[in-house]
Amino acid sequence: MMHILWNDQIVERGAVKIDIEDRGYQYGDGLYEVVRVYNGHLYMMEEHLNRLWDGAEKIRMQLPFTKEELTINLKKLVEIEGIKEGKLYFQVTRGIDAPRNHVLPDPEKVKGVLTANIRAYERPLQKMEEGITVAVVPDTRWLHCDIKSLSLLGNVLSLDDARRQGFDDAVLVRDDKVTEASAANFWVVKDGTVYTHPDGNLILPGITKKKILELARELNIPVKEEAVYEEELFTADECFVSGSLTEIVPVVKVNDHIIGTGKPGKVTKQLLEAYIASVDATCGTVGE
């Protein structure tokens, strides 16, 4: 039986009750994070918490716990479920406000609702070795993509647009510039330099992105946080996506255009090896 962290309790899934007037259910009014678990360790947990707190400030929501309290309870959940390699999902809504009202409720009267679960998850080795295909899709999402909001309909529809065309994912373009993938940051390698969209309101400030930028500098790989134009995708030497679950996955085809040799490129593989080494150094070698 799956266990769920529900506010400050760990209970069996069937015991969780979410009110029909919870603002997360009615408005998507809340935030979430997904943390990769390696050997029972929460990888880059501090960075995920910092992003959660930043998001809460941006949407004017008062979180009903401290970072220490949340971390303790999430670690308890991981321990109880006994999952060594997994993905930990947690979300917090603004809470229950009845009757339904668009106006933000008084934070002293409405308390946020937390839920969390962990599921087994393994590194996507086949995608890392073979790469994925992406379709260019217009980025029609809202203008607060830096907030990891529960409202993900724009992302879901963009992915569906790509899947309906027979591709694995979407690469989003706004005003002729590449922003990100449907649920991952997007990277382009050209003449040995790595490019990715700068943080701001048009993309999510990825936790894995932050680590990759650090690793690139350590490896003396030139990197620019600079948006590339859609047309530059088709002259790229390499492309890849990154995320907490994705880690680093090569992109070998954009629309009908083969990227590079059609196989994972040198820089992409170099960064992936460094990323895995960073995970192993922090959490212990995965699989041992």
As annotated, the active-site residues are: 148
List beta partners, residue 223: 194
Task: Return the structure tokens found at 193.
Answer: 């330099």
Across 55-82, b (16+ Cβ under 10 Å) vs e yields bbeeeebebbeeeeebbebbeebbeebe
CB atoms within 10 A of CB 12: 11
Task: Return the structure tokens found at 286.
Answer: 């995965």
Residues 6+ away with beta carbon under 8 Å from 135 = 161, 162, 165, 167, 169, 170, 171, 254, 255
52 vs 217: CA distance, rounded Å: 26
Instruction: Give the length of the chain.
Output: 288
What three-state secondary structure class fits 190?
strand
